[in-house]
Structure 1
């Protein structure tokens, strides 16, 4: 056993920690093998592409998440002058060039996004001593592998001098893997309309059976609810009362659904809504529980990636009209070291 393998003595229920090696930081992305990429490529018949990203200033405002603000784009500076439509002839007469160059300040998970495996962890007794620690996928630790500017681990808050970020499990690992393979669409709007409904295992299987959907190990599953269409129609001013009263989302507390995710071998769950799972979740049966049970299962235990606020409706409609539900999905995030999430501009090729 290597030193890194001793990060944990026991692993959580329904987890695959260690199955891909003691130092693994990819989780089920390990299942996106060359053979799975070829399966995705085999679904390309027309060469038509679909952009699966919302505009990155959508949904607008901070109604969906008060901690995430819309992107602010501004020019870089050339001395004390903005470097936007800047004529180089100003500096050297005779030059014909006009320069535009800009920068952006944004929350990485404001709009269409990937969650990395460092996005959400749990308190868990890694050592088997009865003392839980703040941990992440494959036993990586808060304060050592994933670091915030404040250390909350020992009951007192201490400032941290090391730069914050995910030194393990960061989004750059996902980017370096390529993230390309077979996507599979399950159209929940087509099955259930726009009513608010928690999708457990039985509802999901009903939709899959009605649409002839088969999910196999290594697939990336997309869940169309229609939330994307509503957000675009709201044009930057999301009506949260209306949104909260409509649309399907996965029931993260459903044990049968959880078991299906464990058994299916899916690499990612992707939705056009804000969390993939319905929040707030149904009341838990135990005092100690995860507020985001699907995030707990997927990110913390299984290394299954979550994609949120994707633009899925145009693709879903085209697939339904053409009697299909599979496609080639290409969706690498930004290769941004230590980030815990990333905007993404996915492409589906049919």
Structure 2
């Protein structure tokens, strides 16, 4: 199999399986039938917001590159339009208006990672020279535009994911059946690296079946700790809190590949532990699940979702499946997006 953008695809990848120009990856498995399966899980009509307040975690101590949203009034250079009486411009008008804008880091809080978020160095041309590429062979520089360079506040570069941007996920209108796995029930707040054996034991104990096209949600309790810290996160505590997937377990990676899940979602910071306690290879990925999911499989990752109330409700009803509706912002060229997911049970 080859493609105009690549002659060789990474081992274990599904590049080209959904078409030569596919930009959705495993979201293609969210078929109308999967949506109907999700709708069939609605029993009580209860709805749950699965987003944290977007100003959490708070500060930038968990990730120095990302900052909380900053709201400010819209201005025309003379007036700030907040609590603004229109009679100042239109005598006799009784309207008072407020209009704001926001500086927003798209992956600061509850988020989707698009397939342009993490790529890899791989010899797609078969000439012995690794190239910077993303899912389905889309190239850094020509499709995902922007370069790593020192910040210049006078001349900031333009960046744009002309391919694999998050708007593709928005147009796909992410909705379907999701399955929640309650890792917190089994492991509490302890930092446990969940490999395939541990995950398999939880699925068996809770009688959970995951089928192709399902979206898998992992409740660990991490986001609960973030909420409790009320905007003042303690990195020393959070980096050692709650369950995470063991991205260096090959059996777990094989299961993610073979399971056919359409999305992988967690309430923690990166789904997998970053960094892992296991010794990373000298020439491999720093984040192996991100490489597998985003780069090889086209499997979007959801991070820092708020799942506590949903988990409690499902547990009380002896259930694990629900209808999930979770499109990102339709923001062309973005590599990630805030999301306000809704679970309906």
User: What is the TM-score normalised by the length of structure 1?
Assistant: 0.94
User: Aligned equivalents of 1:161 and 1:192: distance in 2?
Assistant: 45
Name the CA distance, whole Å, in 2 between partners of 1:74 and 1:29: 36
1:91 Cα deviation (Å)?
Answer: 1.2
Q: Which residue of 2 aligns with 1:321?
A: 316
2: CA distance, partners of 1:267 / 1:64: 28
Q: Which residue of 1 aligns with 2:92?
A: 94
Contact 1:201 1:256 survives alignment (8 Å): yes
- Local SS of the residue matching 1:259: helix
Indicate the larger mover: 284-293 or 48-57.
284-293
The answer for unaligned runs of 5 or more in structure 1 is: 153-159
Question: In the alignment, what sits opposite 1:6?
Answer: 4
Q: 1:149, 1:161 within 8 Å by CA — same for their partners in 2?
A: no
Q: How far apart, in 2, do the equivalents of 1:113 and 1:161 lie?
A: 25
**1:316 Cα shift?**
0.5
Deviation at 1:287, TM superposition (A): 2.4
User: Quick one: distance in 2 between partners of 1:162 and 1:297?
Assistant: 29
Deviation at 1:194, TM superposition (A): 1.0
Q: Distance in 1 between matches of 2:159 and 2:32?
A: 34
**Matched residue, 1:191:** 186
3-state SS in 2 of match to 1:74: strand
Q: After superposition, where does 1:97-246 map in structure 2 within 5 Å?
A: 97-150=95-148, 163-246=158-241
- Once residues 128 and 283 of structure 1 are traced to their aligned partners in structure 2, the CA distance between those partners, rounded to angstroms, is 31
- How far apart are residue 147 of structure 1 and its match? 1.2
Q: Kindly state the Cα deviation for residue 281 of structure 1 after the two structures are TM-superposed.
A: 2.3
Equivalences for 1:333-348 in 2 at 5 Å?
333-348=328-343
1:294 and 2:292 matched: no
Question: Residues 13, 284 of structure 1: CA spacing in aligned structure 2 closer, same or farther, 3 A cutoff?
Answer: farther
Runs of 4+ that moved beyond 6 A: none
TM superposition shift of 1:196: 0.6
Distance 1:162 1:236, change over 3 A: closer
Name the Cα RMSD after superposition.
Answer: 1.7
Q: Distance in 1 between matches of 2:9 and 2:110?
A: 31
Which residue of the partner structure matches residue 156 of structure 1? Answer: none
Instruction: Name stretches of at least 5 consecutive residues in structure 2 with no aligned partner.
Output: none
Q: Shift of the alpha carbon at 1:285?
A: 6.5
Q: Supply the distance in 2 between the matched residues of 1:278 and 1:146 (Cα, whole angstroms).
A: 27
- Determine helix, strand or coil for the equivalent of 1:320: helix
What's the counterpart of residue 24 of structure 2?
Answer: 26
- In 1, are the aligned partners of 2:280 and 2:286 still within 8 Å (CA)? no
Note the C-alpha offset of 1:130. 1.0
- On the 8 A contact 1:252/1:294 being kept in 2, the answer is yes
Distance 1:248 1:162 in 2: 38
Q: 2:267 aligns with which of 259, 269, 272?
A: 272
What whole-Å deviation, never above 9, does each CA across 1:1-53 have from its counterpart, x for those lacking one? 9xx92211111111000000000000001000000000001001111100000
Matched residue, 1:84: 82
What's 2:247 paired with?
Answer: 252
1:96: how far off? Answer: 1.6
Distance apart, 1:79 and its partner CA: 4.5
> Which residue in the other structure is 1:46 paired with?
44
Contact 1:149–1:163 (Cα < 8 Å) also in 2: no
Q: CA deviation at 1:282?
A: 4.3
